[in-house]
Amino acid sequence: MCFEVLYYILYKVTEVFPENPEARELHTLGIELATGRSDFNAAHRVYGRALDVLQASVSQSPGQQEALASMLQESRIIRDDSFVYVRQAIASSEPELLTTACDGLLKAQDITHSIIAEEESVLAEPNMKFLASEHGATLALLGRTATVLTVMTGNEQPFDRTANDLYVYAAKYLLEGSNRYYDTSNSINAARSARYNGEFERTLNWLGAASWSILWSRHSDEENFQASLDTFKSRVLHLVTREKTKASILSKP
């Protein structure tokens, strides 16, 4: 995902769940350091500062909306910081870092799951759809982490579940959510994982899901249409051979 798309999605969050602006600025910088400059250690430090700022800003007795917004912002920072370890693992050929990534992503998904489970009856439908997308996006990154681990180590069932199981679980929430970019990304990455594993029928099924999500975006989530199309095009052309699929996974995890 390009830095501009990540920044746009961060901006959209503030329209639904207001964020701490200083923590958001640090979060944005962390994204740029990790994805734009490949300065992974600096990104981790900045994400850590963002979490410190967020923690210090939460009042002793926050209102419900403030508490939910803070929890969601925390989960997003943890999520993006955790996925940096995936990029770091590839760059340094250290697959053990993927366990660190997984631990962080599980922590992030626990936070969003708790919000959904506890607040489903009181939040308006647009907010629930937004939360479903955010939760699904974290689950999708777990799938991508599992895919990278399979490529790097040959382990086809990391983290007690296959990558495909994780992509399917993510899709459950993403289909209920409002962000078609996240949905398209999950489906095309699932197709790429299936192609690497030689599962051609499953590859076609996921490509169909990704194509449908793009069309859906064109009609109901136009703001994310171009990003959905771009992430599809940047990956689909590499599915022609297993080696090109592997190279794609390791260059665009």
Q: CB pairs under 8 A, 24+ apart, for 122-125?
A: 122/64, 123/68
pLDDT reported for residue 3: 43
Sign of CA dihedral 107, 154, 195, 230: positive
CA dist 27 and 13 (Å) reads: 13
Tens place of pLDDT per residue across the chain (253 aa): 444 444 445 445 555 688 999 999 999 999 999 999 999 999 999 999 999 999 988 766 567 778 888 999 999 999 999 999 999 999 999 999 999 999 999 999 999 999 888 766 667 777 889 999 999 999 999 999 999 999 999 887 667 788 999 999 999 999 999 999 999 999 999 999 999 999 999 999 999 999 999 999 999 999 999 999 999 999 999 999 999 999 999 999 9
CA dist 203 and 71 (Å) reads: 35
CA dist 194 and 124 (Å) reads: 36
The number of beta carbons lying within 10 Å of the beta carbon of residue 41 is 10
- In CATH terms, 3-251 corresponds, of 1.10.10, 1.25.40, 3.90.320, 3.30.70, to 1.25.40
- The conformation of residue 32, written as its DSSP 8-state character, comes to I
CB 128 within 8 A of CB 116: yes
CA dist 250 and 33 (Å) reads: 18
CB 113 within 8 A of CB 214: no
pLDDT reported for residue 15: 59
- Return the structure tokens found at 116: 């959904």
252: left (phi over 0), alpha (psi -120 to 50) or beta: beta
Cα distances (angstroms) measured from residue 102 to each of 83, 86, 124: 8, 9, 31
The number of beta carbons lying within 10 Å of the beta carbon of residue 119 is 16
CA dist 159 and 181 (Å) reads: 26
Place of tokens 């199309």: 229
- Return the structure tokens found at 34: 């990790």
pLDDT reported for residue 7: 43
The rounded Cα 154 to chain-centroid distance in angstroms is 23
Place of tokens 């489903």: 120
Cα distances (angstroms) measured from residue 228 to each of 7, 133, 150, 181, 221: 15, 14, 25, 5, 10
> What contacts 156, CB < 8 A, 6 or more positions away?
150, 162, 197
Q: Where are the domains of the chain?
A: 3-251
- The conformation of residue 60, written as its DSSP 8-state character, comes to S
